[in-house]
A = this chain, B = another copy of it.
Amino acid sequence: MPSEVKIFAPGTVANIGCGFDILGFALEYPGDYVTIRMISQNEVRINKISGKGVQLPMEPDKNTAGIAVIEFLRKFNIQTGVELEIQKGMKIGSGLGSSAASAAAALFGINYIFDNIADMGQLISCGLTAEAGACGSPHADNIAPSLMGGLVLIRSHDPLDVISLSFPEDLFYAVISPDIELQTRMLRKILPEKVPLSSAVKQWGNIAGLIAGLHNKDYSLISRSLEDVIIEPVRSQFIPFFKEIKSQAMQTGALGCSISGSGPSIFALCRGEQTAFNVSESMAEIYKKNKISFEVYVSSINKKGPQIS
């Protein structure tokens, strides 16, 4: 049994346009690092949080990485002491699955130390407990892709049914993350409780088209399907210059562009790395011009999930 391990787990883009609450993909970067260290005291504790999350709670039962480890140990009835050191690559509230990435890194690490006693379903289940503690709504569309890598469908939450989807090699993301914070809880509250059946039909037509397009490497179909008629119109109001950025991204050749998770980060999917770079630059121009600080990320979808660092 190793006594210490440091894990990188990726940030994630949840929803992917039309797939509210059921789709997400893993990023090559940014992501979080969590060091798990076995200690002689019989407790779970966090001894350091660095990077972009210094304001996060140090109490293990209020921190997603801490909750995830506590849940893991409880589930497998393990009495042990664990110290966590968290290095955040993303801020909480960025819409890039920051809380899920910390939980995924911690879970992958503690599972590695205990000889991979948990299967993927059990890890996701522990991660969901952590997500419920962190943002009030236990949705797997960040934790599942962060733990599994790739592009993931959460067909059902109860019972949990998670499927790795195939996608073309040449699919790249451009993500722009403005330096403002949005509250996931608030962004859930503003959603309508009911939606017109006609809009729901449009949405599920697009989801079906997106899955078929990804499987068939049909970029035109992917592009036509990356349209969210239900969530984006409501949430995009809270993201400065969303319309302008989306319009720029599409003009520069993006297949589609929408809100990452509940925002404020915005993602575009592109065919080829060069297009993704061009798109990221065109999106960045809008924020530069309007003096909003931001970060951009461009890469292919992360297929590996968490990695020992």
Which residues does A use to contact B, with CB under 8 Å? 18-23, 153-156, 161, 163, 165-166, 191-197, 200-212, 215-216, 221, 224-225, 230
Contacts and interface: CB of A to CB of B under 8 A. Distances in A.
A20 B202 CA distance: 10
Given A23-B208, A155-B221, 20 more contacts: A22-B205, A153-B205, A153-B209, A154-B205, A155-B205, A155-B209, A156-B202, A156-B205, A156-B209, A161-B224, A163-B212, A163-B221, A165-B212, A200-B200, A200-B204, A204-B204, A207-B207, A211-B211, A211-B215, A215-B215
Given A156-B224, A224-B155, A224-B156, A207 B209 contact: no
A212 B20 contact: no
A6 to B, nearest CB: 34
B21 A209 contact: no
B206 A203 contact: no
A260 B209 CA distance: 22
Given A194-B196, A215-B215, A163 B204 contact: no
A284 B141 CA distance: 42
A200 B202 contact: no
Given A196-B193, A196-B194, A224-B156, A161 B201 contact: no
Contacts of A211: 208, 211-212, 215
A256 to B, nearest CB: 14
Contacts of A203: 200, 204
Contacts of A205: 21-22, 153-156
Nearest to A156: B205
Listed from nearest, the 3 A-B pairs whose CB atoms lie closest are A155-B209, A194-B194, A211-B211
A199 to B, nearest CB: 8
A197 B191 contact: yes
